[in-house]
Amino acid sequence: DAKTTQPTSMDCAEGRAANLPCNHSTISGNEYVYWYRQIHSQGPQYIIHGLKNNETNEMASLIITEDRKSSTLILPHATLRDTAVYYCIVRVLNSGGSNYKLTFGKGTLLTVNP
């Protein structure tokens, strides 16, 4: 699976959009970009995933560059409850019946300030 690079930490004001970047310059054609978050020692929570088109759901938007070497997770109106470590994970969608392991890096600690 391709390696990802994320900033160690970011701050965001409550009510503003939080834009979390992720670099995955070695991503291959069949690898998807997944985002999870972990709120202080709770179980990781799935946010969104995509291949090459931009994706949006009730939690966030995922913008993937045309060359797929980087992506941005957007939380449109951050709240205090969005303070968490955000993980960008690159992985093949279907590993042919093998392990669907998620490889978590260090992630980005997003702190939403009042």
Reference 35, options 61, 69, 7, 66; nearest CA is 61
Choosing from 41, 58, 66, 67, the residue that interacts with another protein (CB under 8 A) is 41
Measured from the CB atom, the residue of 21 and 44 that comes closer to another protein is 44
Choosing from 28, 54, 56, 95, the residue that interacts with another protein (CB under 8 A) is 95
User: Does 28 participate in binding another protein (rule CB under 8 A)?
Assistant: no
User: Does 44 participate in binding another protein (rule CB under 8 A)?
Assistant: yes
Token pair 């900033």 is found at 7
At 27, is the secondary structure helix, strand, or coil? Answer: coil
Measured from the CB atom, the residue of 9 and 113 that comes closer to another protein is 9
- The length of the chain in residues reads 114
What burial letters (b/e) apply to 59-97, b meaning 16+ CB within 10 Å? Answer: ebbbbbeeebebbbbbbeebeeebbbbbbbbbbeeeeee
Choosing from 29, 42, 66, 81, the residue that interacts with another protein (CB under 8 A) is 42
The piece of 17-25, 64-72, 73-81, 88-96 that touches another protein (CB under 8 A) is: 88-96
Rounded Cα–Cα distance for residues 18 and 43 (Å): 22
Residues that bind another protein (CB under 8 A): 41-46, 49, 93-95, 97, 99-102, 104-106
